[in-house]
Amino acid sequence: MSLFDVYPLFDVTPVRAQDVYVYDHDDVEYLDLYGGHAVISIGHSHPEYVNNISEQVSKIGFYSNAVQNPLQEALAQRLVDFSGCKDYQLFMCNSGAEANENALKLASFHNRKHKVIAFKNGFHGRTSAAVAATDNAKIIAPLNAQQEVEIIELGDLEAVEKALDKNNVCAVIVECIQGVGGLDEDTTVFYQGLQALCRQYNTSFIADEVQSGFGRTGNFFAFQKHGLEPDIISMAKGMGNGFPVGGILIHPQIKASYGLLGTTFGGNHLACTAVSTVLNVIEKEQLMDNAKAVSAHFLKRAQELPQVKNVKGRGLMLGLEFDFPIATLRKNILFNHHIFTGSAKNPNVIRILPPLTIKESHIDLFFDALKAEL
Ligand SMILES: Cc1ncc(COP(=O)(O)O)c(C=O)c1O
């Protein structure tokens, strides 16, 4: 049987990984400035992570949500304390798309409306409502196109208000820093205006923090820079450091009822252990401060290169914009210098999404490679 061929693959076969490095079957070392798409937060195979997950699976790895799970309860409290999102409630699932799917569905249950507002170049996942809210016609199947979604230019509050005025919009979903789209971020005035309009029109305001959450930007959530209080916050990627886990934080004004949401695997014992270990390590190793410090160094180094037209993003969710497509440059950096980087929908942007444990010296290796290739 063959694999369903949907991924264009690089010819690299990682067999083990440690902190910011990945090793192939010939033991060639690759510097990971991509984090498997912003997933690796506390570093590959962190000893505390390996130890806690191994210990947990030897006790109990999984039981369904039909029984008490004190690990989930403890995690909910820890997340609220850590993020500062006071009194929010936690619902756990297994991926970013699932987090957004649940967020959109919950919004619609809450205010009984059905239409979604999303933004140009946004990406929210590949499931039903999440993909319909994603600005990429190529990945929306006719089945998904039945969802009513309006895609609006980022920054256009007037268009948002015009759409909300029809009183049928259940949710506005936004990435405060766009990931796949290419690191665009609007102003605090825009995001606060968006939140105010949502409140005015009884529409849920959803912050998609699947990529930008869990300390990646130097704040725990990217929206915190703008002083927002979203109704629902979706999370995944860095949350489990590679363990498949997602979740939503739900504002206390949204009430639960039995059966409203549900999942077999979400919030299992192993997932809870992975996430609580991630939080422990972020705190102990001060990884959000590290994200800010290394980011400042990255910015300084980027300014040395006249070919860089724009540095985008913040913390360790960064992009370098050139005035040419970066596909070949990225390939050369991988195969000639053994450094993984990411791409974006914007073909001129190279994306940098390393583990939050990265050091300035690793950034220097990247700029040496970039300089040589440019
Ligand atoms: C902002 C954002 N939301 C949602 C998703 C979907 O997450 P997943 O691939 O885990 O379903 C992604 C994935 O790249 C993302 O970047």
Q: Rounded distance, CA 214 to CA 39, Å?
A: 10
The alpha carbon of 299 and the centre of ligand 1 are apart by a number of angstroms equal to 26
| Angle value at C-alpha 224, between 223 and 230, nearest 5 degrees | 60
Strand-pair category, 21-24 with 317-321: unpaired
Ligand 1 atom closest to residue 178's alpha carbon, by position in its atom list: 1
The alpha carbon of 176 and the centre of ligand 1 are apart by a number of angstroms equal to 14
Q: How far apart are the first and last CA of the chain?
A: 42
Residue ID of nearest Cα to ligand 1 atom 7: 96
The alpha carbon of 59 and the centre of ligand 1 are apart by a number of angstroms equal to 31
Q: For residue range 256-273, list pLDDT tens digits in order.
A: 999 999 999 999 999 999
pLDDT value of position 224 = 98
Ligand 1 atom closest to residue 130's alpha carbon, by position in its atom list: 4
Number of domains in the chain: 2
- Does residue 1 lie within any of the structural domains? no
pLDDT value of position 284 = 98
Task: For residues 122 and 202, state if they share a domain.
Answer: yes
Task: For residues 240 and 357, state if they share a domain.
Answer: no
Q: For residue range 332-373, list pLDDT tens digits in order.
A: 999 999 999 999 999 999 999 999 999 999 999 999 999 999
The alpha carbon of 187 and the centre of ligand 1 are apart by a number of angstroms equal to 23
The alpha carbon of 211 and the centre of ligand 1 are apart by a number of angstroms equal to 7
The alpha carbon of 96 and the centre of ligand 1 are apart by a number of angstroms equal to 5
pLDDT value of position 101 = 98
Task: For residues 90 and 192, state if they share a domain.
Answer: yes
The alpha carbon of 13 and the centre of ligand 1 are apart by a number of angstroms equal to 23
pLDDT value of position 46 = 98
pLDDT value of position 339 = 98
Residue 349's alpha-carbon distances to 156, 187, 230, 323, in angstroms, are 23, 21, 29, 9
Q: For residue range 49-101, list pLDDT tens digits in order.
A: 999 999 999 999 999 999 999 999 999 999 999 999 999 999 999 999 999 99
Task: For residues 105 and 18, state if they share a domain.
Answer: no
Q: State the residue range of the domain holding 329.
A: 14-46+286-373
Calculate the average pLDDT of the chain. Answer: 97
Q: Rounded distance, CA 19 to CA 28, Å?
A: 15
Mean pLDDT score, 293-310? 97
* Contact between residue 355 and residue 20 where contact means Cβ atoms under 8 Å apart: yes
Ligand 1 atom closest to residue 237's alpha carbon, by position in its atom list: 10
Sheet of strand 342-343: strand arrangement: 310-314, 317-321, 349-352, 342-343
pLDDT value of position 213 = 98
pLDDT value of position 135 = 98
Q: Indicate the residue among 252, 284, 316 that finishes a domain.
A: 284
Residue ID of nearest Cα to ligand 1 atom 3: 124
Task: For residues 202 and 345, state if they share a domain.
Answer: no
CATH number at residue 111: 3.40.640.10
Mean pLDDT score, 2-22? 97
Mean pLDDT score, 37-57? 98
Task: Give ligand 1 pocket residues (Cβ under 6 A).
Answer: 37, 95-97, 100, 123-125, 175, 179-180, 208, 210-211, 236
CATH number at residue 22: 3.90.1150.10
The alpha carbon of 213 and the centre of ligand 1 are apart by a number of angstroms equal to 11
Q: For residue range 177-213, list pLDDT tens digits in order.
A: 999 999 999 999 999 999 999 999 999 999 999 999 9
Q: For residue range 127-137, list pLDDT tens digits in order.
A: 999 999 999 99
Rg, C-alpha atoms of the chain: 20
Q: Which residues of 237-247 are buried (b: 16+ CB within 10 A; e: fewer)?
A: bbbbbbbbbbb
Task: For residues 75 and 212, state if they share a domain.
Answer: yes
The alpha carbon of 234 and the centre of ligand 1 are apart by a number of angstroms equal to 10
Q: Which of 135, 237, 345 to mutate to test the pocket of ligand 1 (most atoms within 8 A of CB)?
A: 237
Q: Which of 210, 235, 317 to mutate to test the pocket of ligand 1 (most atoms within 8 A of CB)?
A: 210
Strands in 40-144 per DSSP E: 89-93, 115-119
Task: For residues 168 and 309, state if they share a domain.
Answer: no
Q: Which of 94, 123, 209, 248 to mutate to test the pocket of ligand 1 (most atoms within 8 A of CB)?
A: 123
